[in-house]
C-alpha cells in the first residue's frame, strides 16, 4: 500500500506556504519579472523558470497581459498601443519523463519564454 508519489505530506505544504509568505516570494517574482522586462532591449528574450504553481501563475498572467494590446495592459502600468511581448511558446516547457526521473527536483519546473517587441 504506501504513499502516492504525487502527494506531498501536509506538513511539507504548510511549511512551504509559511516560507512563501514570510519571504514574500510571490511578490519578489512579480517585481523581478517586471523589472527584467523594463530593462530588456527590444528583440531580447526573457525566460522564467518556476517551481511552484503560484509562481507560474504570476509569470503566466504577466506574460499574457504583456502580449495583448493596450486595453489589456493596465496591470503592467505601461503605455503601449501594441503588445510588449511575443510569447515564444504558448505553453510552458516542462521536463521530459526521463529528466524528471533522473533529476527529481526538475519534476515541477516550468519554463516560460517571451521576446520583447
Q: pLDDT tens per residue, the chain (117 residues)?
A: 444 456 778 898 888 889 888 888 899 999 999 999 999 999 999 999 999 999 999 999 999 999 987 654 556 665 556 789 999 999 999 999 999 999 998 999 999 999 999
Radius of gyration of the chain, Cα coordinates, nearest whole angstrom: 17
Cα–Cα distance for residue pair 86/74, rounded to 1 Å:
18
End-to-end CA distance of the chain: 53
Rounded alpha-carbon distances, angstroms, from residue 20 to 14, 15, 105, 107: 10, 9, 18, 19
Residue 33 is predicted with a pLDDT of: 95
Cα–Cα distance for residue pair 43/46, rounded to 1 Å:
10
Cα–Cα distance for residue pair 52/99, rounded to 1 Å:
18
- What structural domains and CATH numbers belong to the chain? 25-116 (3.40.50.150)
Amino acid at each position: 500500500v504506501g504513499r502516492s508519489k504525487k502527494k506531498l505530506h501536509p506538513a511539507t505544504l504548510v511549511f512551504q506556504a509559511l516560507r512563501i509568505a514570510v519571504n514574500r516570494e510571490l511578490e519578489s517574482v512579480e517585481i523581478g519579472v517586471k523589472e527584467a522586462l523594463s530593462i530588456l532591449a527590444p528583440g531580447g528574450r526573457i525566460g522564467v523558470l518556476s517551481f511552484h504553481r503560484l509562481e507560474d501563475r504570476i509569470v503566466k498572467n504577466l506574460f499574457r497581459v504583456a502580449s495583448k494590446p493596450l486595453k489589456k495592459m493596465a496591470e503592467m502600468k505601461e503605455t503601449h498601443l501594441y503588445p510588449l511581448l511575443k510569447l515564444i511558446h504558448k505553453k510552458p516547457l516542462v521536463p521530459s519523463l526521463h529528466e524528471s526521473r533522473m533529476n527529481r527536483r526538475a519534476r515541477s519546473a516550468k519554463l516560460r519564454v517571451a521576446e520583447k517587441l
